[in-house]
Structure 1
């Protein structure tokens, strides 16, 4: 029996899962927060023997090395026993792989140099991801470490999809192009949907809608990403919880020139104070729906903007794919909001898309079909599992 430890290192946090690969069972989960602050927070749950979650918030966690030591202490004290479930590899989520990484890659010194170099494209994420890798190598020195990139699945985008219509020399110099994100989720969900439908991914054209606080849409032809809504950064595309998604870039110039905003202020506004939060005052779709259903006009209007943008991307990808076999909802909103699913696809019968509203209202933790028998396009809800996908790719990298 052997396990893969999946790690997601943020600037002040460390999330982890221990997954037994023989049966793809999650043995333990954990979250360590407020790294580097006066008081840290830690949660650890042993899913094998101790269903109650263990929490502690009584000590400072100085850095990522201290966070990994705390994680090991939690395994030792609360289980499962790592001697009984030996870690054969550690899989790391890394946000940005640029054009250099298009598959899961075993960590070497050169790989770490490249991740650091790509920090220019993801300054809030890649440095923190790299800190986690280096701390994990100290904590687990005898096993391979593998990096899985959010951008990797979108490495198959064709030039017409990844190119921006700016000066080509300038774009090449500053590495400006569409990279796409949420790739681990889109890959997992598209393959899980194909399995549910009894087809190989290569036999299907799919539109995957990953809708959460961050949101993205991807067009997949024969198992490969051919277009995606997030671009040079995760800011582009759909309306999100706090991110604006698509805007006229001249708005940035206007706010700087006429409003006196600094570019740092505008960056904060677009990433943290826009989207549903900027439109309505709330970032959570559950709160927005509740207010809209109670008759709040501002929330109703915000929901309209969200759905208008979403429907536009669905139509765009439908046309570019030529035909669509399945549309798949995932993510916190995609998996749980029957209203968003229903209104996103309302009135599209002439495109062969019909939702069964009774099926749409059902909840579940497994993939499920919500389209009618007459619908030419299968509409599914497929819960995402990025940690399992990272574990699978990690195992594939060390075995392949």
Structure 2
């Protein structure tokens, strides 16, 4: 079987994450980060199995970083690239799967920018720069929202006037789709089920967090909504709050909309609750030392996660198991344990020893023998992006 290579690019407003993925190998041949773009401190850092290197970027522009990336790819690739796969945050209702990028796709990504003003313009700039550098290679767009386009209307519609949906696209879209899709497929394998079989609750927990109900490989509901702010408590995002909080803060504190948005997105969540940090590792340490804010932040985080997962169970006809993934989900036995304390009504029983000794970086079961499956599965969004990109190209 011939191998094929994909360059996966995740372009933000000030950074570009990248990975060179092989169809036949599980780990990246090369991965790295162009950071602090737009400043005179911009750098390109990359690593493979043998070493790690850093290069200063003269003008710190996205195009400069991608041009510097080209010789690295040529050096580490054993053959020409088959595709470049781009993560795009918001596809709106235009896209239910990966797309070969052409002018129509570019225009649709641009049209969805009002739904993701911090992400889509950066994704678009990265795509256009990459298409200029990698001219002869097909480029693919993989959308965070696409996996959730299988949600039924009763899950994605808000109880708002019809025109806001039909004329302005205001509805629940969901995010982290590539992660939920990847780990639910891995869960089916780990449980010995047929591919894309199974009824799963999935918790992607990192600095951004979301939960999802997946039935036979299709998203049925998810915690994030029109934007990534809805849903769970996150690192610095509040998650769900009273919808009238904006008006209350405007009336009582005279806060304007940008101030309220900044507070909800960058000053809340674990950081806001603890008054300390958004890093779960530091919070667990502080909790063990008696820091009450850290303890409260963890308690709220776990309870709100359990409440969300319990609610999402309504979207499933049965429950085959629960998946923890993302940096917190994969590494925090405390968060997993405290979350499951609130979920006994679903029959989920944690094996404490298996939970605390779960090997890092490996998929494993941590449930008691008489419980539905409880799994820790490392996510690999780059693998998912690479696979979806290659699926668009005839072998």
> Which residue number in structure 1 is paired with residue 63 of structure 2?
65
Q: What aligned pairs does 1:162-177 form with structure 2 within 5 A after superposition?
A: 162-177=156-171
Q: Quote how far apart the aligned CAs of 1:204 are.
A: 1.1
1:333 matches 2:328: yes
Structure 2 CA distance for partners of 1:64 and 1:301, relative to 1, 3 Å: same
**Residue of structure 2 aligned with 1:186, choices 164, 180, 184:** 180
TM superposition score normalised by structure 1? 0.94
For these two proteins, the number of residue pairs brought into alignment is 391
Q: What aligned pairs does 1:166-315 form with structure 2 within 5 A after superposition?
A: 166-281=160-275, 282-315=277-310
> How far apart are the structure 1 equivalents of 2:328 and 2:121?
29
Contact map agreement 2:39 2:59 (CA 8 A) in 1:
yes
> Which residue number in structure 2 is paired with residue 41 of structure 1?
43
Contact map agreement 1:61 1:67 (CA 8 A) in 2:
no
> How far apart are the structure 1 equivalents of 2:35 and 2:171?
33
Contact map agreement 1:368 1:380 (CA 8 A) in 2:
yes
> Which residue number in structure 2 is paired with residue 366 of structure 1?
362
> How far apart are the structure 2 equivalents of 1:172 and 1:132?
30
Q: Secondary structure at the match of 1:171?
A: helix
Structure 2 CA distance for partners of 1:347 and 1:64, relative to 1, 3 Å: closer
> Which residue number in structure 2 is paired with residue 3 of structure 1?
5
Once the two structures are superposed, residues 195-218 of structure 1 have per-residue CA deviations (whole angstroms, 9 ceiling, x without a partner) of 111112543110000011100000
1:354 matches 2:340: no
Q: Secondary structure at the match of 1:394?
A: helix
> How far apart are the structure 1 equivalents of 2:168 and 2:309?
30
> How far apart are the structure 2 equivalents of 1:160 and 1:214?
25
Q: Quote how far apart the aligned CAs of 1:349 are.
A: 4.2
1:29 matches 2:31: yes
> How far apart are the structure 1 equivalents of 2:135 and 2:101?
12
Once the two structures are superposed, residues 76-95 of structure 1 have per-residue CA deviations (whole angstroms, 9 ceiling, x without a partner) of 6xx31x4x232110000000
> Which residue number in structure 2 is paired with residue 100 of structure 1?
94
Structure 2 CA distance for partners of 1:64 and 1:223, relative to 1, 3 Å: same
> How far apart are the structure 1 equivalents of 2:377 and 2:215?
18
Q: Quote how far apart the aligned CAs of 1:171 are.
A: 2.8
Contact map agreement 1:150 1:184 (CA 8 A) in 2:
yes
> How far apart are the structure 2 equivalents of 1:305 and 1:378?
24
> Which residue number in structure 2 is paired with residue 52 of structure 1?
51
Structure 1, unaligned stretches of length 5 or more?
A: none
Contact map agreement 1:12 1:34 (CA 8 A) in 2:
yes
Contact map agreement 1:34 1:61 (CA 8 A) in 2:
no
Q: Secondary structure at the match of 2:323?
A: strand
Structure 2, unaligned stretches of length 5 or more?
A: none
Q: Quote how far apart the aligned CAs of 1:2 are.
A: 2.9
1:136 matches 2:130: yes
> How far apart are the structure 1 equivalents of 2:333 and 2:26?
29
Q: Secondary structure at the match of 2:392?
A: helix
Contact map agreement 1:190 1:201 (CA 8 A) in 2:
no
Once the two structures are superposed, residues 333-379 of structure 1 have per-residue CA deviations (whole angstroms, 9 ceiling, x without a partner) of 0000001111111264453211101100122322100001111x100
Q: Quote how far apart the aligned CAs of 1:399 are.
A: 2.5
**Residue of structure 1 aligned with 2:377, choices 360, 366, 382:** 382
Q: Quote how far apart the aligned CAs of 1:225 are.
A: 0.6
Contact map agreement 1:106 1:398 (CA 8 A) in 2:
no
Structure 2 CA distance for partners of 1:292 and 1:397, relative to 1, 3 Å: same
> How far apart are the structure 2 equivalents of 1:359 and 1:367?
12
Contact map agreement 1:37 1:60 (CA 8 A) in 2:
no
